[in-house]
Amino acid sequence: MQTNRVASGGRINRGNAVNFTFNGKAYQGFAGDTLAAALLANGVDIVGRSFKYGRPRGIVGHGAEEPNAIVQLGSGAQTVPNLRATQVELYEGLEAHSVGGWPSVDFDVREVLGFMGKMMPPGFYYKTFMRPQNLWHFYERWIRKAAGLGKAPLESDPDCYDKLNQNCDVLVVGAGPAGLAAASAAARAGARVIIADEQQEFGGSLLASQQQIDGQPAMSWVDERLAELGNNDNVMLLPRSTVFGYYDHNFLGILERRTDHLGISSPGQVRQRMHRVRAKQVVLATGAIERPLVFANNDLPGVMMASSVSTYLNRYGVAAGNNLVLFTTNDNAYQTAIDWHKAGRKVVKIVDSRPEPTGALVNTAREFGIDVMAGHVVVEAKGRRRVKGAMVAPLNDNASAVAGAAIRLDCDLLACSGGWSPAIHLSSHTGAKPQWNDELVGFVPGESKQQERSAGSAKGAYSLAGCLQQGDEAGREAARKAGLDGESTAASYQVDEQPQQPQQAMFLVPHAKSTSRAPVQFVDFQLDVTAAAIELAAREGYESVEHVKRYTAMGFGTDQGKLGNINGMAILARALGRGIPETGTTIFRPSYTPTTFGAIAGRDVADLFDPERYTAMQRWHQQQGAEFENVGQWKRPWYYPKPGETMHDAVNRECLAVRNSVGMLDASTLGKIDIQGPDAGEFLNRMYTNAYAKLAPGKCRYGLMLKEDGMIFDDGVTACLGPNHYLMFTTTGGAAAVLAWLELWQQTEWPELQVYFTSVTDHWATATVTGPNARKVIEKVCDDIDLSNEAFPFMDWRDATVAGVSARIFRISFTGELSLEVNVPAHHGRYVWEKLVEAGEEFGITPYGTETMHVLRAEKGFIIVGQDTDGSMTPADMGMNWVVSQKKEFSFIGKRSLSRSDMLREDRKQLVGLKTRDPQDVLPEGAQIVNQPEHAPPVPMQGHVTSSYYSANLGHSIALAVVKGGHKRMGETVYCPLADGRVIEAEIVSSIFYDPKGERQNV
Amino acid sequence: MLHIYCPFCREERDEEEFSYAGEAHIQRPLDPESLSDEEWGDYLFFRTNAKGIHHEMWYHIAGCRRYFNVTRDTLSYQILESYLISQQPGVRAKQTASAEQGEQPNAN
Amino acid sequence: MSSSIETPLHYFHGQQTGSGDAQVTIFESPLCGHLNLRGNPQDEQFLEGVESVVGVKPPTTAGSCASSGDISIYWLGPDEWLLLLPESRRAEVESELRNKLSGHFSVVDVSGGQTLLNVRGDGVADMLKKSASYDFHSNNFPAGRCVQTHFAKATALVSKKDDGSFDLVIRRSFADYLASWLLDAGEEFGCRVVGGGEV
Ligand SMILES: [Zn+2]
């Protein structure tokens, strides 16, 4: 039964009843309701239980500020925690649960036992639960369960989210009177405008207003603006869209809820869309949030914000009670009593803290026969599960204490207004420091740090005329500063409005008892922070507002203290004997309201999470059943298992095939950089450790590249293609970094060197044909060059035609076998690859993957940069001084560092081979090496294993390792203690296990 | 996310198109072999780590592949100018925002 | 020989996302010649040398492109351009450039490493907004403009055509990722990849 629904009025569709459940109970509301409006209509008083004390809590507000009615929608994978019922649009079948309350909101153990309250003074985590530390896990589980922080689903989110990048001249945040006026003004000036508002309908405060603009109802003015904006192609209207963060350089995030109002899930549609906006100018017309009054038991259900009472009545046709007491410090809230009276409900009294209220609205109320108790305050609310009465007492002259006995007013609804707090959150995100304004009794946006300005009540303008005028001005200014010089005459919107009298500052309502003895006076409803707790924090020595925030948890809830913070800071200021400006405010940070992870991820999920780079032969590898390995973003075939083969079997087979006949590797992923220019040779000389200037066309050379600190950065072969023309190969993972490195030195240090670098990594597809029969395979598909060892020796390259395709063949080898690397433009890649497979059939050509490549090169002691090196290894450490030329005139990059004292230490970690005592033992990579495993901890470390495999060719395991002073320790025994308790004994040997003279690659 | 003016592309682009390339105006010693370990170490490892005005190199890796310099306030993240590697900054610390002085290459 | 060629989106031709008629078409050109050109824009001889071969000077305005007959030339950087031309003319133009140019320059064939896509249709503006933060609104990006930019988590050279459609030049190794990305981004409009042979 919608007992609280009034007979007519509101922006709801009474013809469209909507069924929903709340904490398992069925209710009915109307289309156009929020969940909060529908709950109030149904007379649901208790919507949650408080964080620490388990006290019953009701709906307080009507928007983003709501601290109590925090719900979780749906169930299973389709669930969303921590939503404010005041912002949830009702849909058929909606299923909501309070996040607070255990075991249920109607029966909370903490309330009955009064247990947690005593246990949880401010700083309760620190004081109570951190010692003994091992019990924290036990406490935490229990506290979280009781506190109700919402439940994250365990299943993956079935819904679709995406992101849109937007660029605009002017972004207007908020579509109330100021925002709409701003958007209209900016659009008229020709600006590209985005206007976003978190509510389902544009209009902001006007949606619940009885005021008139230009002689017609305010909503008619809104409709006119929307028609004007809607017809403009340069304007994007974003309702249901929260601007949740304001980041550097006018970059803002907007969360648009596209289907949340239709149901918990929306298969086939985008549920939420993140707009990533780069705005030239921003207008913040985010409005203001009404401030609660802090008095005893002010958290009882039925104590609500005055503007919320009006909003539920005017916008949703819901009267949240019968007999209203209004408690105010300002004129503005009188409108609530007037609205209530006009709706035919009883206004018991208006309690106004000011001694002589005389404003126009005050007079109107009095004319309606409403009784005003001036100079009085509500000191305490009475009731258990809902407010039943208000204790009202007179104030002394300076409003610092009660000046007489309290009387009781019976009521079931207590509307409160402590004035307004401008919603300065987004302005705060920019780093602008909020400024205290005594006249407005609130913080207003500080000096702009970005291209933004605030307008309307966000800036402290509380009259409708002021909002419209400021909005119009802000919109015109924003357009002008965005570079638009279109029409810029001020709009003139007529509002019939009477001036309001100043409000009274009132942050803690005096009580006959001291704060610590009076019934609890709540400052932060969501985290149960009381005025007494803040005063206690001050007594315990906390002075900084940021520390008090952390000590008391004030403002730490999902509502970020939108209601309570100002009162809390003012109470702290008074306790410290300071002013509010000196005490300052905590800084608001993104997000304004909680933002779903789904929207942050967008479409960057599953297969699209990160690019997968493929070579031209990818489909062939897939068809052969290859397993893949990630190398950077590349997918490389790891090994090609045959039916029934384990990885071990497959790798052994591939290794033997290469050494005994022929194998083929897709090497397309190696970085390739084309280098041209008169100074190309000189440049290479400076970048590599060895000499390049005299490399002749047709020749290749292996080089090491160091960083300026002398550490190995990359390695690879560079070929001379012609005069002043080279092709550099880099490691697969290092390609982009090497190109950036070359450009860095050429562009910033040696611009006088004439040389150009062009990435050709993707242009070439590479098939490495390797093994004793490699030449025989190539001969079958290439007849235009002499492939003999004499005509085409090791470390040469040739232009050739392979399978009818123009190709380059490089005789370079990473396996130690005779190798011919065939490069063709990638669009021919798969074709040529398959021709090579065909040609190799008679030799049992075996495709092999990166694992076999690793084993074969390790047998040869060839390093892999990034595996055997880690950014702290020099050429000497790797035993590679043969690649370092000391004769070059120019001090190549890294050379000077090689003679630093630290580089000359004899106990540097050096690359060696390890042979395990048991040839079948394969050491784990990363295993630590020690001299004496029985040594008492800490055991001196000698180094670690960098590469380790089983070598089918050698019939035993092989490992590469870096060991302190290892080059001079051949034959010594070392030990690898493993995590499983075993200790493996190994002998230090040469890092070259196979074909130490390197004869096989030269055949 | 920063919006960085590329003096070659002549427009502001999102930070994600760039990579940071360290402090600007650090010249490689012409004769490294003549330096002591300490002098070489200074060149190699020591940077100003300025609080406030900072001159730094950026690489337009997803755009024109050019390096350029930026003067950025490390407190506010405000970018005060973008200029060529061969140029000197128009804005320096202390002399706060007197961009006219010196050869101001390209403010935005 | 043409049977030996696979363009980067070969395996995507004919793929479609979304229901109903495809509002967005991604057309992959048959194999084009792609030549990367480097040279000094202040050197008139260089500019004229290029003009004598391709019929138009390399544009020196940042982010612009020019064309002459069947050759387009895109600004990539202050001394770097991309020439797009029919593959049948690639070898001839490449060697002509080498003959006509002198001093410090470079010409590099990158045809195998990239592919040319044309995207058109009603949802294209939103598809681009999903993919890149660059402002492709006609105020900022009229026909004749080109830009190399971040695109999804890869990069692309994007240019605006006279007919309002967009050309994308993307790298081969990222082509599978970007095709999947674009098909996904275009799903709400209906999106189809069409290969050169199908038109
Ligand atoms: Zn650039």
User: What is the per-residue pLDDT across A160-192, written as a single tens digit (0 to 9) for each?
Assistant: 999 999 999 999 999 999 999 999 999 999 999
Query: Does position A6 have pLDDT exceeding 60, yes or no?
Result: yes
* pLDDT tier at A943, thresholds 50, 70, 90: very high
C110–chain A nearest CA distance, Å: 5
Any chain B CB within 8 A of the CB of C17?
A: no
For residue A309, which of A361, A347, A366, A363 has the smallest C-alpha distance? A347
Using a CB-CB distance cutoff of 8 angstroms, which residues of chain C are in contact with residue A760?
108, 110, 113
- Is A75 in a helix, a strand, or coil? strand
Q: What is the pLDDT of residue A497?
A: 86
* pLDDT tier at A144, thresholds 50, 70, 90: low
* pLDDT tier at A110, thresholds 50, 70, 90: low
Task: Determine the distance separating the centroid of ligand 1 and the alpha carbon of C144, expressed in angstroms.
Answer: 18
Location of each CATH 1.10.10.1100 domain in chain A: 513-583
With contact defined as 3+ CB pairs under 8 Å, the chains touching B are A, C
For residue A599, which of A254, A245, A167, A156 has the smallest C-alpha distance? A254
Contact A249 B77 (CB under 8 A): yes
Mean pLDDT of the region A967-987: 97
Task: Determine the distance separating the centroid of ligand 1 and the alpha carbon of A235, expressed in angstroms.
Answer: 30
Q: What is the pLDDT of residue A637?
A: 98
Quote the CA–CA distance of B106 and B92 in Å, as a whole number.
Answer: 14
Q: How many CB pairs under 8 A join A and B?
A: 56
Using a CB-CB distance cutoff of 8 angstroms, which residues of chain A are in contact with residue C109?
763, 825
If one compares C3 and A531, the residue with the highest pLDDT of the two is A531
Q: Judged by CB atoms within 8 Å, which residues 73-92 of B form the interface with A?
A: 76-77, 79, 85-86
* pLDDT tier at A389, thresholds 50, 70, 90: very high
Question: pLDDT digits over C26-52, tens only?
Answer: 999 999 999 999 999 999 999 999 999
Quote the CA–CA distance of A224 and B18 in Å, as a whole number.
Answer: 44
Any chain A CB within 8 A of the CB of B66?
A: yes
CA C38 to the chain's CA centroid? 17
Task: Determine the distance separating the centroid of ligand 1 and the alpha carbon of A762, expressed in angstroms.
Answer: 22
Location of each CATH 3.50.50.60 domain in chain A: 160-288+423-481, 293-417
Using a CB-CB distance cutoff of 8 angstroms, which residues of chain C are in contact with residue A604?
153
Mean pLDDT of the region A90-107: 81
Quote the CA–CA distance of A834 and C3 in Å, as a whole number.
Answer: 13
Using a CB-CB distance cutoff of 8 angstroms, which residues of chain C are in contact with residue B63?
77, 147-149
Q: What is the pLDDT of residue B105?
A: 44
C31–chain A nearest CA distance, Å: 8
Quote the pTM value. Answer: 0.94
Question: pLDDT digits over A63-86, tens only?
Answer: 999 999 999 999 888 899 889 999
Give percent of chain A above pLDDT 70: 95
Q: Please check whether the two domains, C12-30+112-195 and C33-111, share a CATH topology.
A: no
A668–chain C nearest CA distance, Å: 10
Domain C12-30+112-195 has CATH 3.30.1360.120: yes
* pLDDT tier at A433, thresholds 50, 70, 90: very high
Query: Does position C85 have pLDDT exceeding 60, yes or no?
Result: yes
Q: What is the pLDDT of residue A50?
A: 85
Query: Does position A436 have pLDDT exceeding 80, yes or no?
Result: yes
Please tell me the CATH code under which domain C33-111 is placed: 3.30.70.1520
Mean pLDDT of the region C152-171: 97
Mean pLDDT of the region A829-854: 98
* Least confident stretch, A22-26, A147-151, B66-70, C145-149: A147-151
Written out in words, the top-level CATH class of the domain with range A513-583 is mainly alpha
Q: What is the pLDDT of residue A586?
A: 79
Domain B3-94 has CATH 2.60.40.10: no
* pLDDT tier at A112, thresholds 50, 70, 90: low
Mean pLDDT of the region A585-598: 89
* pLDDT tier at B106, thresholds 50, 70, 90: very low
Kind of pairing between the strands at A700-706 and A712-722: antiparallel
CATH classification number, A1-105+149-154, choose in 3.30.460.10, 3.10.20.440, 3.10.20.10, 3.40.30.10: 3.10.20.440
Contact B59 A901 (CB under 8 A): no
Q: What is the pLDDT of residue C197?
A: 59
C-alpha distances out from residue A980 to A274, A935, A946, A984, Å: 48, 18, 19, 11
Where in chain C are the domains? Answer: 12-30+112-195, 33-111
Q: What is the pLDDT of residue A167?
A: 98
Quote the CA–CA distance of A37 and A84 in Å, as a whole number.
Answer: 12
Where in chain B are the domains? Answer: 3-94
Task: Determine the distance separating the centroid of ligand 1 and the alpha carbon of B12, expressed in angstroms.
Answer: 9
List the single best residue of C1, C4, C107, C174 to mutate versus A (max A Cβ within 10 A).
C4
Token pair recorded at residue A836: 């090579």
Q: How many CB pairs under 8 A join B and C?
A: 38
Give percent of chain A above pLDDT 90: 87
Contact B13 C149 (CB under 8 A): yes
Task: Determine the distance separating the centroid of ligand 1 and the alpha carbon of C128, expressed in angstroms.
Answer: 20
Using a CB-CB distance cutoff of 8 angstroms, which residues of chain B are in contact with residue A748?
57, 67, 85
Task: Determine the distance separating the centroid of ligand 1 and the alpha carbon of C106, expressed in angstroms.
Answer: 20
* pLDDT tier at C20, thresholds 50, 70, 90: confident
Query: Does position B97 have pLDDT exceeding 90, yes or no?
Result: no
C-beta of residue C146 within 8 angstroms of C-beta of residue C122 = no
Using a CB-CB distance cutoff of 8 angstroms, which residues of chain B are in contact with residue A248?
1-3, 77
Token match 């929307």: residue? A226
Q: What are phi and psi of C158, to 5 degrees?
A: -110, 135
Using a CB-CB distance cutoff of 8 angstroms, which residues of chain A are in contact with residue B19?
740
Mean pLDDT of the region A833-862: 98
Task: Determine the distance separating the centroid of ligand 1 and the alpha carbon of C182, expressed in angstroms.
Answer: 25
Query: Does position B101 have pLDDT exceeding 50, yes or no?
Result: no
Q: What is the pLDDT of residue C93?
A: 98
Mean pLDDT of the region A1-11: 93
For residue A458, which of A175, A752, A232 has the smallest C-alpha distance? A175
Q: What is the pLDDT of residue A332?
A: 94
C147–chain B nearest CA distance, Å: 8
* pLDDT tier at A520, thresholds 50, 70, 90: very high
Contact C134 B62 (CB under 8 A): no
Using a CB-CB distance cutoff of 8 angstroms, which residues of chain C are in contact with residue A235?
none
Q: What is the pLDDT of residue C4?
A: 87
Query: Does position A116 have pLDDT exceeding 60, yes or no?
Result: no
Any chain C CB within 8 A of the CB of B23?
A: no
With contact defined as 3+ CB pairs under 8 Å, the chains touching A are B, C
Contact B64 C78 (CB under 8 A): yes
Any chain B CB within 8 A of the CB of A258?
A: no
DSSP letter, residue A319: -
Please tell me the CATH code under which domain A906-1003 is placed: 2.40.30.110
Please tell me the CATH code under which domain A618-669+763-856 is placed: 3.30.1360.120
C-beta of residue A68 within 8 angstroms of C-beta of residue A47 = yes
If one compares A915 and A53, the residue with the highest pLDDT of the two is A915
Any chain B CB within 8 A of the CB of A496?
A: no
Q: What are phi and psi of A281, to 5 degrees?
A: -140, 150
If one compares B102 and A905, the residue with the highest pLDDT of the two is A905
Domain A671-759 has CATH 3.40.50.970: no
Q: What is the pLDDT of residue A210?
A: 87
Using a CB-CB distance cutoff of 8 angstroms, which residues of chain B are in contact with residue A744?
21, 59, 67
Task: Determine the distance separating the centroid of ligand 1 and the alpha carbon of A337, expressed in angstroms.
Answer: 62
C-beta pairs of A201-206 under 8 Å, 24+ apart in sequence: A201/A11, A201/A239, A202/A175, A202/A226, A202/A237, A202/A239, A203/A175, A203/A176, A204/A174, A204/A175, A204/A176, A204/A177, A204/A179, A204/A287, A205/A176, A205/A177, A205/A287, A205/A307, A205/A457, A206/A176, A206/A177
Token match 């043409």: residue? C2
Token pair recorded at residue A462: 């509380």
* pLDDT tier at A295, thresholds 50, 70, 90: very high
Task: Determine the distance separating the centroid of ligand 1 and the alpha carbon of A497, expressed in angstroms.
Answer: 55
Contact A278 B76 (CB under 8 A): no
If one compares B97 and A283, the residue with the highest pLDDT of the two is A283
* pLDDT tier at C3, thresholds 50, 70, 90: confident
Q: What is the pLDDT of residue A810?
A: 98
Question: pLDDT digits over A269-286, tens only?
Answer: 999 999 999 999 999 999
Task: Determine the distance separating the centroid of ligand 1 and the alpha carbon of B66, expressed in angstroms.
Answer: 6
Quote the CA–CA distance of A261 and A257 in Å, as a whole number.
Answer: 8
